[in-house]
Chain A
Amino acid sequence: MALLEGRGLTKRFGGVLALEEVSFAVEEGTIVGLIGPNGAGKTTLFNVVAGALKPDSGQIMFDGNDSTGLPATVTCRLGLARTFQVTRPFAAMTCLENVGVAMINSPRTGVGCRWGCDGIEFLQVVGLGEQAHSEARQLNVVQKKRLEIARALATRPKLLMLDEVLGGLNTQEIGQAVAFIRRLRDEHHLTVFWIEHVMGAIMQAADKVIVLDQGRTLMTGTPEEVVRDPRVIQAYLGE
């Protein structure tokens, strides 16, 4: 069953058609990759789904409810968590406090749970346990991306939307990261919707890949189908 479904989503910025009649489905328990060249509309699609932007037309179904145009605050409470491509930490707050914000606003966090203690677990999951009491501004780029994931997990989401979390990693680290995200999916019973530029990672991790190009869905298929498709190769490499 599809946990998330987009039907004919269109988003226009002035004269630019950022999304044109995009339809897609993210099945529960799967990892779905979203790829496409720069400017294809990947992050716009994320923003529309997560409620940071309202679509001009189309419909979004999340977990059986119509979530079209709901603001980010509400979609988060419904169980949709996202990370930002350009990280947005609460810079002057500690990592633990960053995670705490996510925990205290989640309707799925247990009653009486204390973020000061339990929040550490989310940081440890992403390897930031040592930095719990450091201000987020002191983290490096890779650590900030990890903090984004920790915060997203701390909302106890059903759907985790990752926007280019592998930037700045080497090949070996990418392999570890892919394993990590698969493990997250299994242990936290998550569904993952994942924008990534690092093709190798998506090919290893994803059950299904959606390719966007110039605001349209170019194709949807398994990683093997996608890499072999001439349209995809052309979109990436040009004429």
Chain B
Amino acid sequence: MGDPVTDKRFYLILLVAAALLSLLSLGLDAYRLHVLIVCLFYVMMASSWNLLAGYTGQVSFAHAAFAGIGAYTSGILATKFGVNPWLGVGIGTVMAALLGLGVGVLCLRMGGIYLSLTTLGFSEILRIIITNEYEITRGTMGLQVPGLITVYSKPVYFFIMLGGALLTLIVLYKLIYSNIGLNFRAVQNDERAAASLGVDVVRMRVLAFTVSSALAGMAGGLYGHYLLLITPEIPSLDQQFLVLSMTVIGGMGSFAGPIVGAFSLEILAEYIRGYGEYHVLAFGLVALVVARFAPNGIIGLATRHFPGRAKPGKPVAVAAG
């Protein structure tokens, strides 16, 4: 359980931000509204990836793949079995959670680079399966899926995605500022010291992987039913590196970082879209430079130059052992 005062502040900020975005969305044309919706998708993706990379130090390259799992599960259920897309998104989320649990357990004994390589492999295997199982997935042609609402309406989709983003952020906030979140950070800082203080390192890592994958699955499911066409683009490595760049440039390990990164990079990407897909490359380079010279990203720079309150050492109730 979080501290009530800071909790109140968090929900207030979230509420104000959501209200402002909603207000803004009313004045946007279809194209700009689309960009805003995509931004919200990336807020979900980058924030949930941050839980893994930023809070438990597990750099997974399978996050976009889990979004793909969510999207394709729901899409296939809808097209082949006529399952309601809302239910499909739910099942897709559970599916991503289960696979995340599996990959998490598989990667238990691996640290650093080995975890990254395994998840990279998982991601590629998934892409190959999706591309080749044409009968089921329609390969690179993409799977046409029904929408979440019967009459297509961008503004309604905006509110659906906003809801998804808010839900994601609340889940992450609850987790990060709980005792579990404290354990996550302990594991990231020093696994051996954490174990010596009674932290169940293995359980924490698997838990982070499962929750993060589930959130990616939900994001992918919602996004797929918004686009109405699910392509291997969703679980692609391009997508993965974009999410990575957003998190790193925004500020890995901070709550606001991935949100800032998602909005700024997606909007920037739209401006330079004329140059083709090179923007992913450019973002990757920028991410490298940021990681080297400003490891805490935009948020880190902002707090360094405008030092506000010291970060609150959040008092959290101790769970009964």
B318 and A114 form a contact (CB under 8 A): yes
Task: Give the complex CA separation of A71 and B196 in angstroms.
Answer: 9
Q: Are A132 and B313 in contact (CB under 8 A)?
A: yes
B198 at the interface (CB under 8 A from A): yes
Whether the pair B193, A90 counts as a contact (CB closer than 8 A) is yes
The distance from the CB of A111 to the nearest CB of chain B, in whole angstroms, is 4
Q: Which residue of chain A has the shortest Cβ distance to B195 in the bound complex?
A: A72
**Cβ distance A119 to chain B, nearest Cβ, rounded Å:** 8
Contact indicator B320/A111 (Cβ below 8 Å): yes
Contact residues in B for A52 (Cβ distance below 8 Å): 192, 195-196
A47 nearest CB across to chain B (Å):
10
Report yes or no: B198 in contact with A76, Cβ–Cβ below 8 A: yes
Q: Which of A101, A112, A117 contacts B182 (CB 8 A)?
A: A101
**Contact between A107 and B321, CB atoms less than 8 A apart:** yes
The answer to whether A96 and B313 touch across the interface, beta carbons within 8 angstroms, is yes
* Interface status of B316 (Cβ within 8 A of chain A): yes
Q: Are A155 and B189 in contact, CB atoms less than 8 angstroms apart?
A: no
Interface contact B201-A73, CB-CB below 8 Å: yes
Which residues of chain A in 32-73 are interfacial with respect to chain B, using CB atoms and an 8 Å cutoff? 50-52, 71-73
Q: Do B185 and A155 touch (CB < 8 A)?
A: no
In the complex, are the beta carbons of B179 and A104 less than 8 A apart?
yes
Chain B contacts of A84 at CB under 8 A? 192-193, 196
User: Which residues from B are CB-within-8-Å of A111?
Assistant: 318, 320
Q: Tell me the chain B residues, 301-321 only, with Cβ under 8 Å from chain A.
A: 310-311, 313-321
B186 at the interface (CB under 8 A from A): yes
Are A114 and B185 in contact (CB-based, < 8 A)? no
Establish whether residues B321 and A105, one from each chain, have CB atoms under 8 Å apart when the complex forms: yes
Residues B185 and A92 in contact, CB atoms below 8 Å apart: yes
Tell me whether A114 and B194 are in contact in the complex, defined as CB-CB below 8 angstroms, given that A93-B186, A101-B182 are known contacts.
Answer: no
A71 touches B315 (CB 8 A): no
A104 with B182: CB separation less than 8 A:
yes
**B318/A91 in contact, CB under 8 A:** no
CA distance A185 to B185 in the complex (A): 31
Residues of A within 8 A of B193 (CB): 84, 88-90
For residue A217, give the distance in angstroms from its CB to the closest CB of chain B: 25
Of all chain B residues, the one with the shortest Cβ separation from A50 is B196
CA–CA, A155 and B190, complex, Å? 17
Question: Any chain B CB within 8 A of the CB of A231?
Answer: no
Kindly state whether residue B270 has any CB partner on chain A within 8 Å: no
Considering the complex, give the chain B residue whose CB is closest to the CB of A134: B310
Residues of A within 8 A of B311 (CB): 94
B310 touches A92 (CB 8 A): no
Question: Which chain A positions have C-beta within 8 A of B314?
Answer: 116
Looking across the interface, which residue of chain A has its beta carbon closest to that of B198?
A105
- Residues of chain A with a CB closer than 8 A to B318's CB: 103-104, 109-115
A182 partner residues in chain B, CB cutoff 8 A: none
Q: Is B16 an interface position by the 8 A CB rule?
A: no
Question: Is B197 an interface residue, CB under 8 A from the partner?
Answer: yes
Q: Which residue of B179, B190, B310 is within 8 Å of A89 (Cβ)? A: B190
Determine which of A50, A51, A100, A108 lies in contact with B316 in the assembled complex, contact meaning CB atoms within 8 Å.
A100
CB-CB < 8 A to B3: which residues of A?
A: 116
Known A94-B313, A111-B320, A117-B315; judge A102-B189 contact (CB<8 A).
Answer: no
Interface string of A155-190 (1 = CB under 8 A from B): 100000000000000000000000000000000000
Kindly state whether residue B199 has any CB partner on chain A within 8 Å.
yes
Cα-based distance from A151 to B189 in the complex (angstroms): 15
Chain B residues near A89: list those with CB within 8 A: 189-190, 193
Report Cα–Cα, A48/B320, bound state, in Å: 29
Q: Which of B179, B190, B201 contacts A90 (CB 8 A)?
A: B190
- Distance (Å) between the CB of B55 and the closest chain A CB? 11
Whether B321 pairs with A108 at a CB distance below 8 angstroms is: yes
- Nearest neighbor of A107 in chain B, beta-carbon distance: B321
User: Cβ of A90: which chain B residues have Cβ within 8 Å of it?
Assistant: 185-186, 189-190, 193-194
A73/B310 in contact, CB under 8 A: no
A213 within 8 A of B: no
Contacts of A88 in B (CB 8 A): 190, 192-193, 196
Q: Say yes or no: is B7 at the interface (Cβ < 8 Å to chain A).
A: no
Q: Which of B25-68 contact A (CB under 8 A)?
A: none
Given A72-B195, A76-B196: A115 in contact with B189 (beta carbons within 8 A): no
Chain A: residues with CB nearer than 8 A to chain B?
Answer: 50-52, 71-73, 76-77, 81-82, 84, 88-94, 96-97, 100-117, 132-133, 151, 155
Extra 19 A-B pairs, beta carbons < 8 Å, given A101-B197, A107-B321, A133-B313: A50-B196, A73-B199, A76-B198, A81-B197, A88-B190, A90-B185, A90-B190, A90-B193, A91-B189, A92-B253, A94-B311, A102-B197, A104-B182, A105-B197, A111-B318, A115-B315, A115-B316, A116-B316, A155-B197
Nearest 9 pairs between A and B by C-beta? A116-B315, A105-B198, A107-B321, A90-B189, A88-B193, A76-B198, A72-B195, A111-B320, A101-B186
| 26 A-B pairs in the complex with CB atoms less than 8 angstroms apart | A51-B195, A52-B195, A73-B201, A88-B190, A88-B192, A89-B190, A90-B185, A90-B190, A90-B193, A91-B189, A93-B186, A93-B189, A97-B182, A97-B185, A101-B186, A104-B182, A105-B199, A105-B321, A109-B318, A112-B318, A114-B315, A115-B318, A116-B3, A116-B316, A132-B313, A155-B197
